[in-house]
Structure 1
């Protein structure tokens, strides 16, 4: 079994606990928390796993890393603490562990990452023999492997558009929604998420990664932004009141320009309530969220993915699929050479967490943990 620690128990960490517990190749060995109120609570409770898992949460990072887990799912946020997240990742990698995380945008396409981010990671990998795979929670697969897979189903491709369409009505993340994205703020407020060059910092790596896979050269990466105010007051179950006249919807694009035309586009369409900007794209079933890939060409191909979890939440479903991509890569990374990996390196894996597999039956491709070089 591959001993695996989960660092963080927020929206991503909860899903990570469930994914690690469900994977028959992995053993949940530790859960790290920041909130003192969570210390001592069972991982099954914190992760909404529906069972007692017998792993008590701790805030003792030194003790968890001293136990040398084979792998760590780093689920702590890097949105507003990228330097701290980078330091944490380097610290983990220096134990020789495999690490998977969505927390450092710059490493979605590590080849284009700035040296001050990439070099400490590479130094830690060289020193201790660990590995790092970074993929996003928007979700990463929706902006890399899925569009590239779909592009291979046609005869010609003129453009690829990756959309995340999301309604924050039931999303319990007020700091990100109100201040990072700007929902409920006056229209003159400048949300940090759409400050000039920030969308490119976050999603530009995925544009570059797709361009590399498609074998095309980018002229540049451009950004477009639209915002709409609420026409009436609205109240959400998770985050309370949002006033008329404040920001109620946000739409932006990160565009990879090839030969003067936007050919590879990552687009986000977000609302605090479905009544705002009804003319903008919506999920096919009218629900709270979807991820869509549109390949313009011959034939034109459109694929929508709608995932739910934690009582029907689309937000939780999106997080869970992003986490599944990361967690299900751990055993491949354990068996691979130490290194810094991206989505084009790490193959998609069939699920091994089958609810209908007979107890004791063989897990296809089961790998025993490889002894990694440690110092």
Structure 2
């Protein structure tokens, strides 16, 4: 009987120790995971981004006031080039790329991979496509394209311009590299990728709607554009806008932010690839219901630069892959 009692006490003691050990293990696990959930991220794009409430909307809400400062505009000026029989310029591709850089570059960080690995990934994002071997029997082209994969990337300086040095990121992007596909050499660099991107955008059937008329749009259409534009900017969604001066004179810029003056005029801060060293202003007059851009249009129209322009929001569909890349990046940071 005594032996049975001792055995019973042993079992009770063993069970109690197991329960205590399990509780301690659970407490330790809880203590390990809690700091991750309560982690707050600060970098060149966001401040006070909480891992516990991580979402695309909250990433936008956490974007720093200085994240899109003019000193972080790409240090390159728009240029004309031949595309087929037409001479065009790269404003649409440059504005799109500036938006990509604004969201995906992480400044004052060190890249974990060699430039030979980093640059091809970034140039694919600039082009909007990656080049792959052509496996179609009915085409003589040396390569085919697939949608680019978007991801954040490190910039060792506070601006891209600061990396325009020997072995610096911007210098390496401008110099580029040779990609060999099916035995053919394809030169890849920033200039070539922008030109390919622009050509892909320029010759689209969907653009015809912006060429049916010349100059300004109706007041009703402008207020509908304003509603979408203000919604975007209040949510820190950088927005591409095509400014139509005449049927054949149009220019795409990237709108960053706005303020409303006492005289019922909205002043939009804009990246203009024709003058990237400084931001310029696009105006909307709430009284006339028209957009004006003399500081933008004056660069390529020498008469009546102060007349109204037609304004169209474009390329909204490009936002999704950038948001996906930002969310994936911060999920990795929160692990």
TM-score of the two chains, using structure 2 as the length reference: 0.27
- Structure ranking higher in helix proportion: 2
TM-score of the two chains, using structure 1 as the length reference: 0.25
Answer 1 or 2: higher relative contact order, Cα 8 Å, separation at least 6: 1
Larger radius of gyration: 2
